[in-house]
Amino acid sequence: MKIAVLVKPALDTSQLRVKEGRVVIEETPLKINDIDRNAIEEAIKLKGNDKAYAISVLKWPPLQKRIQEAENLLREALAMGLDEAYLVADEGLIGSDQSATAKAIAAVINKVGADLVLAAEASIDNYTGQVPPRVAAELGWPLITYARELRVEGGKAIAKRDLEDSVETAEAQLPAVVSVTREINQPRIPTLLAIRAAMKKPVNKLTLADLGIKPDVKVELVGYKPVVIQRKRVIIKDGTPEEKADKLLQYLRQEGVI
């Protein structure tokens, strides 16, 4: 089964750079979106003798610096076991809304072919989870989101959808788009040998012009503001457990929360 996996070079939010009350996107490093690793793992399990490939779209500036950074990240995905990667890098996609992103991804899928598209339920930086549904709409394919279990049988994807209060069993005819949750599997850690082999796997770079897509901006970013939460950060570390308990309860009573 030929599988396309959406791999986002996401902002590493644990290393978010903030200077003078401003978020500095350009200096914040990228990482593979955590849950994408689960999608990659699932693709490797399901692909059989066929090919599984990554599709990445660069969303964060500065473009030139990020291309190399994203390529390095894609090597990690290839080391896990994907066969090939497609990186769409274009100024027109930086800061665009996800409609153009989905069009670019769908164009790559139409070009390379796929029986199944796997993606993460959401990415750690924006956490909107909208790209997999958008890609399904763009391709006109069935869509299953929030899969915590997935199997493919008789040309169908059968998944357990993890919803707030229930688990739904969903079936869809292939080709289909499926987004997965972190619970679906335990992503592998590549061996040194696999990391070396990944250096030889192809990373194909594409622009919007290569895909015949025109950028179109419908959302304008006014700005990012760091959320400043002033916590008191009072640390109670001296004394016996009894004394510490007294201190904590005293503080909490002063705050009027107990």
Partner 1 sequence: MKALVVYPNKEALYAASTLGEYAALAVGDAELKAAEGAPVVYNVRGDPRDLGLRISAVLQLAGQYDVIIMPSLKETKTIGGYMSQKLNAPFITDVVSLRAEGGKLLVERYVFGNKATASLRANVPAVLTIAPGKFLGEPPKASTKVVELSPQSAGLFRIAGVEPKASGGVRIEEAEIIVSVGRGFKKKEDLAMAFDLAKALGGQVGCSRPIAADLKWLSEDHWVGLSGHKVRPKLYLAIGISGQPQHIAGILDSRIIAAINNDPNAPIFQYADYGVVEDLYKIVPILIRKAAELKK
Residues 6+ apart with CB under 8 A from 222: none
The Cα 101–Cα 99 span in angstroms is 5
Phi, psi of 170 (to 5 degrees): -120, 140
Instruction: Say whether residue 158 binds partner 1 (CB under 8 A).
Output: yes
100 contacts 213 by C-beta, under 8 angstroms: yes
Residue from the set 113, 163, 202, 209 that interacts with partner 1 by CB under 8 A = 163
Specify the stretch interacting with partner 1 by CB under 8 A; choose among 45-53, 64-72, 206-214, 229-237: 229-237
CA atoms within 13 Å, Cβ hemisphere of 18: 10
Burial class (CB in 10 A: 0-12, 13-18, 19+), 158: middle
Find the binding residues for partner 1 in span 84-123 (CB under 8 A).
Answer: 97-99, 102, 121-122
Residue from the set 27, 167, 196, 209 that interacts with partner 1 by CB under 8 A = 167
Burial class (CB in 10 A: 0-12, 13-18, 19+), 142: middle
- Report in angstroms how near the CB of residue 159 gets to partner 1 at its nearest: 8
Nearer to partner 1, 92 or 133 (CB): 133
The Cα 163–Cα 146 span in angstroms is 7
Nearer to partner 1, 91 or 183 (CB): 183
Three-state DSSP state, 67: helix
Residue from the set 51, 182, 188, 201 that interacts with partner 1 by CB under 8 A = 182
Nearer to partner 1, 188 or 247 (CB): 247
* Interface characters, 127-156, with partner 1 (x: CB under 8 A): xxxxxxxxxxxx---xxxxx----------
Nearer to partner 1, 85 or 103 (CB): 103
* Opening angle at CA 11, ends 8 and 96, nearest 5: 70
Instruction: Say whether residue 183 binds partner 1 (CB under 8 A).
Output: yes
For 50, which DSSP code?
A: S
Instruction: Say whether residue 257 binds partner 1 (CB under 8 A).
Output: yes
Q: Which two tokens stand for residue 197?
A: 């082999």
Find the binding residues for partner 1 in span 196-215 (CB under 8 A).
Answer: none
Instruction: Say whether residue 224 binds partner 1 (CB under 8 A).
Output: yes
Specify the stretch interacting with partner 1 by CB under 8 A; choose among 47-55, 64-72, 205-213, 239-247: 239-247
Instruction: Say whether residue 57 binds partner 1 (CB under 8 A).
Output: no
